Amino acid sequence: MPCHGAAARSGASSVPPLQATDKGARAKRPAFRGRNEEEVRQDKGEGLRAMANAEAGGAARIFRDYDQATLDRELNLRARWPEHVDYFARWARDSAAVRGDLPGRLDLAYGAGPAEVLDLFPVDGASAAPLLAFIHGGYWQSLDKGDFSYLAPAFGEVGIAFASLNYGLAPDARIGTMINQVRRALAWLYRHAGDHGVDARRIVVAGHSAGGHLAAMALSTDWPAFDAALPGDLLAGGCSISGVYDLEPLRLSYHNKILQIAPEDVAPWSPLHRLPARAAPLLLAVGSEETREFLRQHAEYAAAWEACGLPLGEVDMPGLQHFSAVDALGDRDHGLYAAVRRLLAGGVA
């Protein structure tokens, strides 16, 4: 994978104009955003049936050493960890409590679309606090910015502002649209930093799972190519937790029924294929209990980033799986939390 000086120019010609407005309709927070659990459960059942059928028929390999059954199993995270429902419920419950206790500026519009909103938790009394901008996961199909308010207090108490971003979800939005929505959200945060007591020079983007993919794409962005008024160093750093960096296996899996990734979309939408010539420091984290495919993607992306001579830090997370990994971001005793704080302070993780 070559390192590109204009790596993030993919789709630049089709990027809609920035529509960062301070005011907009504050959408009522939905109980569940995106595909509901019954729809996801049906897809999970289809994936399991496809695995059984493929195993019975001795299916051929379709990606690396995976046959269809194995590939679908590697990417079927909710089937592997049925306790995900408990994580989702706890995240939502704890986040609702945080929003009740912590002053926040909710549903700030960074664009014109109904999904183009973010929640911001500023530091009380600060005029130039660093900011961690978080992008939620959910396989680009579900979850909501509001599910991750619970991460804000661990940062606010040490003088770090926290933002949680929404973006469009499949099947209504395609991944290329989501990439540009996240770029617009980060550009909005940069432009409006002073209005919220944030230091525009110290914005770090972080994400989990699909959000890790979007964070990595943001870090590879050629910002002046995206918008000539933006600086090339808009971001001070990035962090991806259990991220997706190569979309080809997703395209070949049962997930593509919803995601609709075309062959020609893989390279421009995959961080592994959009390596920049220069970038702010990147922090990569993955749990030891992740699936083999997620571990492979982490290792290959880290190696590719290093091969380009780009600043990289990695955090080992022993005993953590896909859904428990994100909790480490807000765990004051975890190495990931410490590494992100160092990144926000201007150090390489």
pLDDT, one tens digit per residue, over 176-206 is 999 999 999 999 999 999 999 999 999 999 9
pLDDT for 60 = 94
Based on the number of CB atoms within 10 Å of its own CB, is 342 exposed (0-12), middle (13-18) or buried (19 or more)? middle
CA distance 255 to 229: 37
Cα 121 to Cα 19: distance, rounded to the nearest angstrom = 22
Range of the domain at 277: 83-344
The answer as to whether 5 is a domain residue is no
Domain assignment present for 57: no
Measured distance CA(33)–CA(66) in Å, rounded:
32
What is the per-residue pLDDT for 36?
52
Tell me whether residue 211 is in a domain. Answer: yes
What is the pLDDT at residue 43? Answer: 53
Is residue 73 in some structural domain?
A: no
Of 92, 142, 107, 91, nearest in space to 28 by CA: 107
User: Is 130 inside any structural domain?
Assistant: yes
CATH number at residue 267: 3.40.50.1820
Q: Name the 3-class secondary structure at 287.
A: strand
Residue 201 phi, psi (nearest 5): -85, -5
CA 197 to CA 129: how far, in whole Å? 6
* Whole-number pLDDT of residue 28: 36
Q: Residue 59's CB: how many other CB atoms inside 10 A?
A: 17
Q: Is residue 206 part of a domain?
A: yes
Given a contact cutoff of 8 angstroms between Cβ atoms, the answer to whether 92 and 78 are in contact is no
Separation of first and last alpha carbons in the chain: 24
Contact 247, 175 (CB under 8 A): yes
* Within a domain: 23: no
**What's the confidence (pLDDT) of residue 336?**
98
> What pLDDT does 1 receive?
74
| Percent helix, strand and coil across the chain, each to the nearest 5 | 45, 15, 40
User: Tell me, what's the pLDDT at 337?
Assistant: 98
Say if CB 269 and CB 238 are below 8 A apart: no
> What are the 10-residue block averages of pLDDT along the chain, 349 residues in total?
53 30 32 50 51 56 97 97 98 98 97 98 97 99 99 98 99 99 99 98 99 99 98 98 99 98 99 96 98 98 97 97 98 98 85
Q: Would you state the pLDDT for residue 10?
A: 34
Distance CA 7, CA 275 (A): 6
Is residue 313 domain-resident?
yes
Count of domains in the chain?
A: 1
